[in-house]
């Protein structure tokens, strides 16, 4: 029963992080464009990021298709990893903290999702096998 609670709490917090971020991108567009520009990213990414954050969150929460949900996890992983690395490269490690929190929530949600969902993802077991082969 505990993995189910861990899954839903981590998934809810991850969703809150992403939806709050999308809302901020919508309401404070000029500030976001300036911040992305300082990191070296073009401003035309803002609408794409808003869409990806909303659709990725919906795919994970609704999980109407397991493969699409897994793809959303992968997209969020790369987004959070790149956000973390961009802030580290810009020598602003404190600005990378939301990405670190997001990565922790994402990993927790991903690892516990099969315990909480009726249709298990086949990719979680494959990922575990790959890690086991790499550690051996």
DSSP string, 17-53: HHHHHHHHHHHSHHHHHHHHHHTT--TTHHHHHHHHH
| pTM of the predicted protein model | 0.85
Q: How far apart are CA 14 and CA 59, in angstroms?
A: 13
Token readout for 77 is 């992983």
Residue-wise pLDDT for 53-73, tens only, equals 999 999 999 988 888 999 999
The whole-number pLDDT of residue 90 equals 85
The whole-number pLDDT of residue 32 equals 93
């Amino acid at each position: 029963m505990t993995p189910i609670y861990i899954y839903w709490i981590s998934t809810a917090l991850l969703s809150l992080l992403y939806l709050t971020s999308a809302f901020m991108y919508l309401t404070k567009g000029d500030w976001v464009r300036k911040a992305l520009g300082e990191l070296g990213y073009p401003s035309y990414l803002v609408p794409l990021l808003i869409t990806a954050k909303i659709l990725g969150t919906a795919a994970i929460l609704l999980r109407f298709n397991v493969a699409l949900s897994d793809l959303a996890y992968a997209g969020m992983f790369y987004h959070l990893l790149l956000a973390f690395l961009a802030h580290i490269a810009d020598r602003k490690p404190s600005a990378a903290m939301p990405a670190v929190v997001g990565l922790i929530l994402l990993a927790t949600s991903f690892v516990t999702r099969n315990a909480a969902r009726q249709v298990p993802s086949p990719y979680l077991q494959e990922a575990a096998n790959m890690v086991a082969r790499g550690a051996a």
